[in-house]
Structure formats: C-alpha cells, structure tokens
Amino acid sequence: MPLTLILMRHAKSSWDDPLQDDFDRGLNDRGRKSASAIGKWLKEHAYTPNGILCSSAVRARETLDELALDAPTTYLADLYLASPTIMSRAIKNAQANRLLLIAHNPGMALLAEELARAPADHPRFHDYPTTATTVFEFDIENWSDLAPRTGTIRDFTVPRDLMGP
C-alpha cells in the first residue's frame, strides 16, 4: 500500500502589527478563507490525513484549525522556517500512512521540488504560494524509506484555483 504525503504551506498571515514577532503572526481574513477552502478540497477528494505534523508557529496552527480536519497532530517547533532536510527528518519519523505536513517557505517549496519525480503541471508549483498543497504518493512501506525524486504527484492546488482571485 503506497504512502500519501500532503505538503501544505501555511495560509496567508496578517501584517497588521509590523512589530509583532514573526513566529506569533496569525492569519488574515483571506488566509482563514483559503485554509477553509483547502480543507473542503481535501475532504472532497478523499485526501484527509490520518496524521499531521504542524509547525508550532501561530499561522501554521491557525491554518490547521481552519482546515477542520480530525487527525492526531504533532506540533514541532523545528518546522518553523525549516529546511527540506529538517522536514524530511520529521516525515521519516512519522507513523501515519496519510500524512499532512504544514510548514513554511522557502523550505516547503524546496521539499516539494526535491521529492517529486516530476513537477506538478501548474504555474504556481515552483513558488509555492500560501496554502499551496501538493498530494504525493510514495511506493514505500515506511516513511524511513523516503528519498528524493520518488514521489508521484497526485494533485496540486492553490486557493485561487478553488475560490477565484
């Protein structure tokens, strides 16, 4: 049985308080609507995870809240602005066979590119805007076997695809 990995960049954050620490920035209205739309999309396409790894940054946690998913979740401070190497390490320790990872750019975009056998046929795949979501399938039995260029992209979307501009 193949393993499914869903990579998601957090939703659009608020810059209302320019003095606020980056880690503590929450979502703006557009971010909340985008995350909600992606959550519905995941459910409609039967991509719901049975395990979640989420950056402990406020905007990542709020993104997860708006997705309205029900799965065991682990919040990891190490995923805040993490490199692809750190994200891969977290994935390799996971147990779920349908895993969602919510984190930040530039690491998220780099990880998606690194894992894909071929990039998604979408103009926004390489810059990975907020709430961009890639659904990968891996023909492996354990996440510890995760390796670059072994993921088949089953789907990719951004909020604009679902909600319009």
Asked if residue 143 lies in contact with residue 109, where contact means CB atoms within 8 angstroms, the answer is: no
**0.85 cut: is pTM over it?**
yes
User: Which pLDDT tens digit goes with each residue over 119-165?
Assistant: 999 999 999 999 999 999 999 999 999 999 999 999 999 999 998 76
- pLDDT category at 86 given cuts 50, 70, 90 is very high
Residue spans per domain, the chain: 3-9+25-163
- What does the angle CA 151 – CA 100 – CA 41 come to, to the nearest 5 degrees? 95
Length of the chain: 165
CATH no. of 3-9+25-163:
3.40.50.1240
User: Which pLDDT tens digit goes with each residue over 42-76?
Assistant: 999 999 999 999 999 999 999 999 999 999 999 99
- pLDDT category at 80 given cuts 50, 70, 90 is very high
Q: Which of 143, 157, 153, 147 is CA-nearest to residue 3?
A: 143
